[in-house]
Amino acid sequence: MSERFILGTAGHIDHGKTSLVRALTSVDCDRLPEEKRRGITIELGFAPLELPSGRRLAIVDVPGHERLVRTMVSGATGIDLVLFVVAADEGIMPQSREHLAICELLGVRQGVVALTKIDAVDAEIAELARLEVEEELASSSLAGAPLVPVSATTGQGLDALRETLDRVVGTAPARTLRDGPSWLPVDRVFSMRGFGTVATGTLRGGAFEEGAPVEVFPDGRAEVSATRIRGLQMHGEPVSRAFPGSRCGLNLQGMDVDAVPRGSVIATPGRLAARPRVGVELGLLEGAPPQKNGTTLTVHLGTAERPARVLLLDRERLEPGERGFAELRFATPLVAVEGDRFILRGFSRVPGAGWTVGGGRVLDTEPARGRRARSQRAADLAILAGDEPAASLAVRLERAGLEGVRERDLLRAVRSIEGIQGIRAGTDLWLHATPFEALSERVVRAVEAHHQGRPLDAWVGFGPVRGALPARIPDDAIRAALRDAAERGLLESHSSGHRSPGFATRARDSELERRFLERITGAGLAPPALSALAREFESDPRALQRLAEHAVRQERIVRVASGLFFDRAAIDELRERLVRYLEAHGEIDPAGYKQLTGQTRKHTVPLMEFFDAEKLTLRRDNLRVLRGRR
């Protein structure tokens, strides 16, 4: 059976956590010489435990010393359930309470209580210890958790503890996040001879596979390294695939040990980023000091630790036992994942909880920039806290407005976009329906405005619409809005662009149009150039050019060359005479062409080239023949 649940120990120093793990698993989690010498756990220890049903747990043994709570937190962030250890001869102690508070803040709701050293007390003391523990847990997330008296020395109660753990695991939901990208907060790193750097941690999100590419975010450093998983291990055994919720070791290709310090994160490429600030829901413990807006506290997230400024969004002061919304702003960016939990520790002792003052969970890894009201940011976080993926995604899309969000950026901010309700523009741009509808209205107005300013343009191309809108709006969004407006009948679409339904071109200056057409049609095969007409009419050459293009589209005149327009009837008549001449004579030279047109070289040469371009005639040296004739 795959190792999918992590059991973490918790409890006061010297209450027998490591001894109990050794008795259950035959694995000594005190691996460092200093741990052996001092008789306390300093670093995290790990051991596999097979239960009577065949289920397997991975046990994380954490230190109980007050000065090592940061190490305890780094282990506890990845556990699914807790083995809360209390010694029968001492009962509940300060670190017992702080560890219990940390588990509660991290959302650990399932567990078993081991009343250890039961062999060191008589029945009366054991009963008093049991009552004390039950009373302490009554107001905690472990209220009602089964309690098993045990002795790691004599073995008393060990079988009962295994069976109790088996029963609890059988009904317990996984607490570690198990969707989205794969990421592993590194809690230990070392070098193995012949293998290189190995980083260990609790895998979250998705699976890791041997040979897969990964990104390494070194704790406290800006650079991100790309590498591959050279090998995977679970408790010393090589595997080809590791599942979320597993304790695993990653042999990283080409990485030095110092490039992956503890607190680093190894993740699916392109899915995570180090964040300078995150939006959170947080709460203070009962008995913790009130926290003012702008207070600096220490944040423990994953296996990393950072000072952070706490900017409260829905109040100016957070009282003990209260919950609220805030932004955590880090001096050094920190890798954070939506839904992950964190611990807040202060700089003075909290009665019964050490330096732990509170904790919470990450709701937004990419809070919106700009001058948004605190109340609006708090309202956004309230929706994100509701654990409704579609609503959460809608908040992010609506916040992005007309700019939208690229899918790759969205996937860096959330674990999944499954169920997203938005408008997809292009290949990877998402917009909220409300701003998208507003954009559709704006492109319609842009087309209408172009009609007003350029009534001779039958169709409005993308460029004029693009130019009428703010540069921050992506081209993909504008194109999607044009398609939407056309589908809804607000615009008509053509390969040349868009137009308002029923729009008909018209000359703004009808008198200028009349004079221009009279001059062209009256000139026959000797029309004046457009530049000459502009001077004659004292008109803007660009306005006259647009008028001429309009007349071409109406098939009233023909553009023969740049700036040279002919009456269509004159061109049609010349075409007929040219065909008859060539059918009779087979070819025509320039002199014959001049005689046929009755014009000078100034007009004859453009006409010769026009009929060539029209593929009516073919030039052979200095002669023209009908195209297709041998």
- Tell whether 278 is covered by a domain: yes
Residue 238 · residue 198 · CB < 8 Å? no
Residue 76 has a pLDDT of: 62
Residue 190 contacts by C-beta under 8 Å, 6 or more apart in sequence? 197, 198, 257
What pLDDT digit, counting tens, does each position of 267-287 carry? 999 999 999 999 999 999 888
Q: Report the CATH number at residue 526.
A: 1.10.10.10
Question: Are 126 and 92 in the same domain?
Answer: yes
CA distances from 221 to 161, 226, 345, 348 (A): 43, 14, 23, 29
Backbone angles phi and psi of 20, in degrees to 5: -70, -40
Question: Are 383 and 326 in the same domain?
Answer: yes
Question: Are 134 and 12 in the same domain?
Answer: yes
- Tell whether 415 is covered by a domain: no
Question: Are 286 and 193 in the same domain?
Answer: no
Pull the structure tokens for residue 425.
Answer: 């523009």
Distance of CA 18 to the CA centre of its chain: 41
- Tell whether 629 is covered by a domain: yes
Average pLDDT along the chain? 87
- Tell whether 483 is covered by a domain: no
Q: Report the CATH number at residue 359.
A: 2.40.30.10
What SS3 state is found at 88? coil
What pLDDT digit, counting tens, does each position of 386-444 carry? 888 888 899 999 999 999 999 999 999 999 999 899 999 999 999 999 999 999 999 99
Residue 164 has a pLDDT of: 95
- Alpha helix (H) ranges present in 501-540? 510-523, 530-537
Q: Report the CATH number at residue 130.
A: 3.40.50.300
What SS3 state is found at 169? helix
Terminal CA-to-CA distance of the chain, rounded, Å?
84
Q: Give the domain-ending residue among 369, 387, 405.
A: 387
Pull the structure tokens for residue 103.
Answer: 């588990």
Question: Are 628 and 546 in the same domain?
Answer: yes
Q: Give the domain-ending residue among 171, 199, 230.
A: 171
Residue 629 has a pLDDT of: 64
Question: Are 280 and 202 in the same domain?
Answer: no
Question: Are 573 and 528 in the same domain?
Answer: yes
What SS3 state is found at 83? strand
Residue 193 has a pLDDT of: 79
Residue 462 · residue 512 · CB < 8 Å? no
Residue 38 has a pLDDT of: 38
pTM over 0.85: no
- Tell whether 443 is covered by a domain: no
Residue 111 · residue 103 · CB < 8 Å? yes
- Tell whether 472 is covered by a domain: no
What pLDDT digit, counting tens, does each position of 528-571 carry? 999 999 898 888 888 888 888 888 888 889 999 999 999 999 99
d(CA 597, CA 287): 104
Question: Are 20 and 167 in the same domain?
Answer: yes
In the predicted structure, residue 357 carries a pLDDT above the cut 70: yes
Residue 513 contacts by C-beta under 8 Å, 6 or more apart in sequence? 507, 547, 551
Question: Are 90 and 129 in the same domain?
Answer: yes
Q: Which residues on adjacent β-strands are paired with residue 226?
A: 215
d(CA 411, CA 275): 14
Residue 231 contacts by C-beta under 8 Å, 6 or more apart in sequence? 195, 210, 238, 250, 251
Helix, strand, coil fractions of the chain, as percent rounded to 5? 35, 30, 35
What SS3 state is found at 415? coil
Pull the structure tokens for residue 520.
Answer: 């062209």
Backbone angles phi and psi of 219, in degrees to 5: -60, 125
Q: Give the domain-ending residue among 171, 194, 217.
A: 171
Question: Are 133 and 254 in the same domain?
Answer: no
- Tell whether 214 is covered by a domain: yes
d(CA 237, CA 348): 44
Query: Picking from 31-40, 198-207, 435-444, which range would have the lowest pLDDT averaged per residue?
Result: 31-40
Residue 352 has a pLDDT of: 59
In the predicted structure, residue 176 carries a pLDDT above the cut 90: no
Which range of residues forms the domain containing residue 322?
274-387
Question: Are 252 and 292 in the same domain?
Answer: no
Q: How many domains does the chain have?
A: 4
Q: DSSP letters of 23-79?
A: HHHS-----SHHHHHHTS--S-EEEEEE-TTS-EEEEEE----GGGHHHHHHHHTT-
Question: Are 40 and 99 in the same domain?
Answer: yes
- Tell whether 220 is covered by a domain: yes
Token look-up 């588990």 returns 103
